[in-house]
């Protein structure tokens, strides 16, 4: 992926990994548009990064996604990269159906719907990218968040299949799989959890990998490799036990 000279839309760009990537890509000379549901948060980011723009988007709302995509293309005809970053992660005691449905709507259907709405436009660009954000938990699930883990596994599978479908087009498909990172995804405590990877370190490593254009289409930082390659290493059971606090 060329990391400069693009017009990039980032969902969930108001905080966490989304904001960090938005600011890093903005600093590289890209035109960046962040999207999310919280206007105040989006405004804080754009005010801190002159030239960055924002749009409101409810990623759980199918109709809103369709209208948003039309508006985004109209406002930003050079749009050639979408980063599907918006997501939620909530613990489930046994199986909480409300959380499960909300998680699937946000983490899986949201990226699929937005990509489908934008794909005709992206295919018409000389070069374009669809970027998904999965997780190390796509490969080794966390039992406390079963639906989150399942949606990220689905995003990984979907990214692989879409990459194959689009291999002879101008659109590349890139998957970023984060490890446990210092964000507020699971709450404020995660921001300072020493077990989590510092957000700046994660962002810097992701940017370096993106610039090197890995042929696999996967962006896997070193910290995530034990999860990503747990099955291939023959140590899946050990990594699963580590992730789930089993000794």
> What's the pLDDT tens digit per position in 90-136?
999 888 999 999 999 999 999 999 999 999 999 999 999 999 999 99
DSSP 109: I
Active site residues: 148
pLDDT exceeding 70 applies to what percent of the chain? 100
* Euclidean distance between CA atoms 82 and 55, whole angstroms: 13
Distance CA 223, CA 243 (A): 13
Q: What are phi and psi of 55, to 5 degrees?
A: -145, 145
Q: Which residue has the tokens 């939620």?
A: 88
pLDDT for 56 beyond 60 = yes
Instruction: Look up tokens 């070193």; give the residue.
Output: 222
User: Model confidence over 205-238: pLDDT tens digits?
Assistant: 999 999 998 889 999 999 999 999 999 999 999 9
Is the pLDDT at 247 greater than 80? The verdict is no
pTM for this structure? 0.96
Q: Go through the domains of the chain in sequence order and give each one's CATH number.
A: 7-243 (3.40.50.720)
Six-digit token string for 47:
């005010």
Q: Give per-residue pLDDT as tens, 167-192.
A: 999 999 999 999 999 999 999 999 99
Structure tokens at 71: 């508006």
Residues 21, 203 contacting (CB under 8 angstroms): yes
pLDDT at 152 exceeding the cut of 60: yes
User: What value, to the nearest 5°, has the Cα angle with vertex 171 and ends 85 and 15?
Assistant: 15
């Amino acid at each position: 992926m060329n990391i400069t000279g693009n017009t990039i839309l980032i969902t969930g760009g108001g905080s966490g990994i989304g904001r960090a990537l938005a600011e890093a890509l903005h600093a590289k000379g890209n035109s960046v548009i962040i999207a999310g549901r919280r206007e105040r948060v989006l405004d804080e980011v754009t005010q801190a990064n002159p030239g960055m723009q924002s749009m409101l988007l409810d990623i759980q709302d199918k109709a809103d996604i369709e209208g948003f995509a039309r508006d985004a293309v109209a406002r930003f005809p050079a749009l050639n990269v979408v980063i599907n970053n918006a997501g939620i992660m909530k613990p489930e005691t046994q199986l909480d159906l409300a959380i499960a449905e909300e998680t699937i709507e946000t983490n899986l259907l949201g990226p699929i719907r937005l990509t489908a709405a934008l794909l005709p436009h992206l295919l018409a660009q000389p070069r374009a990218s669809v970027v998904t954000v999965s997780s190390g938990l796509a490969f080794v699930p966390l039992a406390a968040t079963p639906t989150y883990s399942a949606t990220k596994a689905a995003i990984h599978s979907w990214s692989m299949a879409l990459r194959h479908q689009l291999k002879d087009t101008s659109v590349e498909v890139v998957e970023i799989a984060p490890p446990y990172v210092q964000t507020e995804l699971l709450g404020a405590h995660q921001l300072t959890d020493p077990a989590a990877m510092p957000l700046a370190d994660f962002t810097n490593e992701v940017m370096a990998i993106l610039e090197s254009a890995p042929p696999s289409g996967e962006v896997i930082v070193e910290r995530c490799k034990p999860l990503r390659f747990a099955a291939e290493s023959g140590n899946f059971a050990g990594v699963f036990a580590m992730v789930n606090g089993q000794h």
